[in-house]
Structure 1
Amino acid sequence: MVVQEQTHIPLPATVLGAVGTVCWCVQLVPQIYHNYKRKSTNGFPASMMLLWALSGIPFGVYGILQNFNMPLQIQPQIFMALCMIAFGQCLYYSHHHRLLTAYFFAITLLIMFVATEVLLIILFRPIYRAGNVTPLLAIGTIGSILLALGLIPPYWEMFKRGGMVAGINFLFLATDAAGAFFSLMSLLAQPSFDKVAAAMYCVLLGLEMGIFFGHGLWWCLKGRKLSPEEIRALERFGEKENKRKTRELYLEDGSDEEKDKENDSGSENGDDMEKNNGKKLWDVAL
């Protein structure tokens, strides 16, 4: 496979790339607001955001070394930042870390990712300009794999609910797919078509269309027959009790010792109830 650096960027490629970048700049905003409004990220996997943020490293290196149009060069950086904001929400809402702890960890990771990207650009630029394209091809391939792997956890969440999508905002998904589409079109408008980058956008589009199709199929076969209560129960499937709220109630209502004992006995009963509810919800989903 020949990898050719872009020497001239036509206006249509820049415009299409700008549209794709705008989509990817705002794509996670609806999801971040959706998480904040629900005060939950149940059904929205933290692993998805972490893998997507990681994929921004190789794609940033690849786009800059390939001298893509400017919107496509800055796209991975914005993408990484938004992914880490959503990742911080997952740590806070679903994994019950303190807010400062969650975002300190997310920001630290983001700084490490950006530093890694800069280091790789410095290391690989002279190698690439010397005519060795193998490292660049490897980087582009790794990015595509990470991006594809990031869309596997939502399929697992769908499987647990019989095909229903829960926790993922469809406006986010549609905007993300639009960003991939316009970015792909911008590659077609460039003098030299980049197959590695195109493969990444095609993989993203295909997997996201699969999520839309899976939820639509579930709705046609089962979802439209369920009551609003059953749908809400499926959305909350697997949701853990918020430990911060529980702790606050304990401090307000009684001594820690008594409440700890009550919590121990309650947790055992809760586990049994969760198992029974899980079986019922699985029957509902299927």
Structure 2
Amino acid sequence: MGNAVAENVLGTAGTIFWCIQLIPQIIRNYKVKNCEGLPPLMMFLWAASGIPFAIYFFASDGSIPLRIQPQLFTLFCTVSWAQTLYYPPYNLPRRRMWIYIVGFVIIGIALEVGFILWLRPVYRHGTHWPLLIIGIIASILLAVGLVPPYFELAKRQGRVVGINFVFLFMDSMGALLSMLSIIVGTFDIMSMVLYAIVLAMEIGIATSHAIWYFRMGKRIIKEEKAAAKLQEESKECPSESDPSDDVVVEQDVISTKEELA
């Protein structure tokens, strides 16, 4: 009885984290209006992974939270993906960005409806392997989505740029709590491997930034802040010789000469 309660509590907590973990990242993208360092491929693969996850949980008659979670996850991933396309450094035209997003949503809905209507009766009749393949595809897409950030780390000597650490922490907590729910409850090797891969790769991202910070980050961040402060001061305090003043003086001299002539 105790294990069942612990499994439900940990599983629910993990599901909640994996429903809302991208909200801090979306807010950060909107405020900064720059997605440098956040790979669009990562957000696309995560959004795509939510489709087979939704098919899996709907067709296998999963609980209501398990059905809702991939829908919210796909929604927030799609929003973040749109931001990475629209904001710098990619700066896609708004029309082109909407074509990608709307096309993805239409295809995703069609796949979900089609596969759920097809595979639910198959699953209920005792044939489980088609849904198992769907679940494996979803897990692979989710795990592979964490590969592109490592290319961004390699470009910047291990520095994390563009990825919100609150989002990273919440996502890691979702994986950790889900792992613990499996350990204390019904053990599922496929889910355990997925959660372990996600947790390990996200810890790797955070560790890479920590190593960069202690090696050279303090000096670089201090220099960047000093440069930003100097730039702000130069904007607030215009130079003593304003070009517009020179133009006015020249016009006065010309008009004076004309009067004397």
TM-score bin (small chain)? 0.7 to 0.9
Change (3 A) 1:62 1:186: farther
**Equivalent pairs: percent with the same residue?**
43
* Aligned residues of 2:19 and 2:70 also touching (Cα < 8 A): no
* Aligned residues of 2:6 and 2:181 also touching (Cα < 8 A): yes
Matched, 1:115 2:110: yes
Change (3 A) 1:208 1:53: same
State the Cα deviation string for residues 145-175 of structure 1 (Å, max 9, x = none): 1111111110000000010000000001001
State the Cα deviation string for residues 92-148 of structure 1 (Å, max 9, x = none): 113223445424532441232133122212222233333333222222221121111
For residues 36 and 77 of structure 2, the distance between their equivalents in structure 1, rounded to whole angstroms, comes to: 16
SS of 1:96 mapped into structure 2: coil
2:91 corresponding residue in structure 1: 96
* Aligned residues of 1:14 and 1:71 also touching (Cα < 8 A): no
2:43 corresponding residue in structure 1: 49
Matched, 1:72 2:72: no
State the Cα deviation string for residues 44-85 of structure 1 (Å, max 9, x = none): 011000000111122222233444443223211110000000
Q: Which of 16, 26, 36 is the aligned partner of 1:22?
A: 16
Scaled by the length of structure 2, what TM-score is found? 0.77
SS of 1:164 mapped into structure 2: coil
* Unaligned 5+ runs, structure 1: 1-8, 234-286
Please say which structure displays the higher CA radius of gyration: 2
Matched, 1:174 2:160: no
Change (3 A) 1:129 1:232: farther
SS of 1:222 mapped into structure 2: helix
1:130 corresponding residue in structure 2: 125
For residues 146 and 69 of structure 2, the distance between their equivalents in structure 1, rounded to whole angstroms, comes to: 19
State the Cα deviation string for residues 11-30 of structure 1 (Å, max 9, x = none): 54333333222212221111
* Aligned residues of 1:187 and 1:193 also touching (Cα < 8 A): yes
Q: Which of 44, 61, 68 is the aligned partner of 2:55?
A: 61
Scaled by the length of structure 1, what TM-score is found? 0.70
Change (3 A) 1:42 1:227: closer
Q: Which of 210, 213, 226 is the aligned partner of 1:216?
A: 210
For residues 66 and 197 of structure 1, the distance between their equivalents in structure 2, rounded to whole angstroms, comes to: 15
State the Cα deviation string for residues 239-274 of structure 1 (Å, max 9, x = none): xxxxxxxxxxxxxxxxxxxxxxxxxxxxxxxxxxxx
* Aligned residues of 2:19 and 2:69 also touching (Cα < 8 A): yes
